[in-house]
């Protein structure tokens, strides 16, 4: 487990002036990774690190050989079109590269003259998925979301008996994960309108978003070997924002007995930036459950995990529509929640996933599931906000929604804040619904 070190010093500033503006969210204490190129170009994508409103081109930096030891090896792994090679090296290499970059980007660094020509403005960049994602598993770790949804379908028994014992998950579709997506409205079968009638086929009428975080696996494990709970952090490269879009009417008809399929496989949108677990170290918090709740089984519990297994990550969902963008309205705030309210934490997800020896691989992605909070305005989906479509929400410019319409855009942002420490931002995940094919 990483501990606080010199890269977390709140007093550090950068020679990149925009990094010292707290509204930016990418200070020298953050240093998140992405894969980028010049917008609209046919250049090769390459890894970069955010500092203020700029990107350090790591592939170009590697040609200068500015570092040595593990930091040099880690930097040399950043010359391909993904972060998989870096992820595979392990936490010691990630930490060495973070330290070297931190020192190079601090005020007074002797490397400023070498690195400054390699900066690329974020406003001129476009991004791709930061890793080649071989496998994607989505979990269901918010008891508040599970309860809210359960009440709509089983008001007398909203939580199934296994929920408080098992981190519920399913295997999703990796190929349709992307950044800044524009995707056609899904189509599929929905349940018959009345008994004796045929199922209906057509565009989804109950399209929803899901406020989630994604967990990128770094070093994996050999098949047949578990990852113990207190070693799980060593296998996690970092976190991103995730929106796992859901076609609720298609899902309701198809999910029994094997779970969702067409209702989930059409698009899942992530943020381009991965905030490393080391950058999040100052925002660890105790993993606790309310009085009377069962404690996890021994393989999912430890003193260390209870003391600091959760993370204080604030998340927000915003929305624009075709009409609001035409009128240049600001995005509408829909809800906000916090990752610390989850019923399970990310180390537990890694351990549970590998308990039978399932081999995780560098670049694999685990989704948290919808992260709703305990209050109504902390709902992580429009299904919850509108109580299953029964209570429309009214947007500031007058439009109403029960579910998403064509042209709607969902923006999810996340950040970490604490007194006396720079704001650590995740960037944003943005996706727009297009008409059905």
Q: Which residues are catalytic?
A: 145
Q: Which of 364, 292, 291, 301 is nearest to 135 (CA)?
A: 364
Is residue 255 a known part of a binding site? Answer: yes
Is residue 418 a known part of a binding site? Answer: no
Structure tokens at 224: 């047949």
Query: Beta strands 177-179 and 268-270: pairing type?
Result: parallel
Is residue 343 a known part of a binding site? Answer: no
Structure tokens at 369: 């599931």
Structure tokens at 253: 């008809």
Strand-pairing partners, residue 128, are 35
Is residue 421 a known part of a binding site? Answer: no
Is residue 370 a known part of a binding site? Answer: yes
Residue with tokens 């709740």: 293
Secondary structure of residue 303 in the 3-state scheme: helix
What would the DSSP string read from start to end of 133-148? ---EEEE---HHHHHH
Strand-pairing partners, residue 187, are 203
Is residue 293 a known part of a binding site? Answer: no
**CB under 8 A, 24+ apart: contacts of 41-50:** 44/81, 45/81, 45/82, 45/128, 46/78, 46/79, 46/80, 46/81, 47/78, 47/79, 47/80, 47/82, 47/83, 47/86, 47/130, 48/120, 48/125, 49/101, 50/26, 50/122, 50/273, 50/427
Task: Please report the beta strands in 58-180, taking only residues with DSSP state E, as ranges in sequence order.
Answer: 119-121, 125-128, 136-139, 169-171, 177-179
Is residue 140 a known part of a binding site? Answer: yes
Is residue 81 a known part of a binding site? Answer: no
- CB neighbour list of residue 103: distance below 8 Å, 6 or more residues apart: 109, 111
- CB neighbour list of residue 28: distance below 8 Å, 6 or more residues apart: 12, 13, 14, 19, 51, 102, 105, 106
Task: Please report the beta strands in 232-297, taking only residues with DSSP state E, as ranges in sequence order.
Answer: 236-243, 246-247, 268-270, 275-276, 284-285
d(CA 398, CA 321) in angstroms, rounded, equals 11
Cα Rg of the chain, angstroms: 22
* Angle, vertex CA 406, rays to CA 404 and CA 409, nearest 5: 65
Is residue 244 a known part of a binding site? Answer: yes
d(CA 71, CA 27) in angstroms, rounded, equals 20
Structure tokens at 175: 């190929």
Residue numbers in the known binding site for Ca(2+) are 138, 210, 212, 244
Tell me the binding residues for substrate. 140, 154, 251, 255, 370
- Binding site listing: 138, 140, 154, 210, 212, 244, 251, 255, 264, 268, 370
């Amino acid at each position: 487990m990483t501990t606080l070190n010199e890269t977390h010093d709140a007093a550090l500033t950068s020679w990149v002036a925009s990094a010292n503006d707290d509204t930016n969210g990418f200070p020298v204490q953050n240093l998140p990774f992405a894969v980028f190129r010049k917008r609209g170009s046919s250049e090769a994508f390459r890894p970069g690190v955010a500092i203020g409103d700029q990107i350090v081109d790591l592939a170009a930096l590697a040609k200068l050989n500015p570092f040595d030891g593990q930091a040099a090896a880690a930097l040399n792994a950043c010359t391909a079109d993904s972060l998989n090679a870096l992820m595979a090296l392990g936490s010691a290499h990630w930490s060495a590269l973070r330290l070297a970059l931190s020192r190079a980007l601090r005020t007074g660094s002797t490397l400023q003259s070498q690195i400054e020509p390699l900066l690329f403005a974020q406003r001129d960049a476009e991004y791709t998925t930061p890793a080649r994602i071989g496998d994607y598993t989505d979990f269901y770790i918010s008891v508040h979301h599970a309860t809210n949804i359960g009440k709509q379908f089983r008001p007398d028994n909203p939580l199934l008996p296994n929920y408080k014992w098992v981190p519920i998950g399913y295997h999703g579709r990796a190929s349709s994960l992307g950044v800044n997506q524009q995707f056609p409205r899904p189509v599929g079968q929905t349940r018959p309108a009345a008994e004796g009638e045929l199922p209906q086929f057509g565009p989804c009428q109950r399209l929803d978003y899901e406020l989630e975080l994604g967990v990128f696996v770094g070093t994996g494990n050999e098949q047949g070997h578990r990852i113990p709970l207190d070693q799980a952090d060593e296998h996690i490269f970092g976190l991103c924002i995730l929106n796992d879009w859901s076609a609720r009417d298609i899902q309701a008809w198809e999910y029994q007995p094997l779970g969702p399929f067409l209702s989930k496989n059409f698009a899942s949108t992530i943020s381009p930036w991965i905030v490393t677990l080391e950058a999040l170290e100052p925002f660890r918090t105790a993993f606790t459950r309310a009085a009377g709740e069962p404690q996890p089984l021994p393989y999912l519990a430890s003193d260390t995990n209870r003391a600091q297994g959760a993370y204080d990550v604030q998340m927000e969902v915003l929305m624009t529509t075709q009409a609001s963008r035409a009128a240049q309205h600001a995005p509408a705030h829909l809800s906000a929640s916090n990752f610390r309210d989850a019923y399970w934490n990310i180390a537990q997800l890694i351990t549970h996933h590998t308990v039978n020896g399932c081999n995780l691989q560098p670049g694999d992605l685990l989704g948290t599931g919808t992260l709703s909070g305990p209050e109504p305005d902390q709902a992580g989906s429009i299904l919850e906000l509108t109580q299953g479509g029964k209570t429309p929400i009214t947007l500031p410019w007058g439009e109403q929604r029960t579910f998403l319409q064509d042209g709607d855009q969902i923006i999810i942002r996340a950040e970490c804040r604490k007194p006396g420490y720079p704001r650590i931002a995740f960037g944003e995940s943005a996706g727009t619904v297009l008409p059905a094919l």
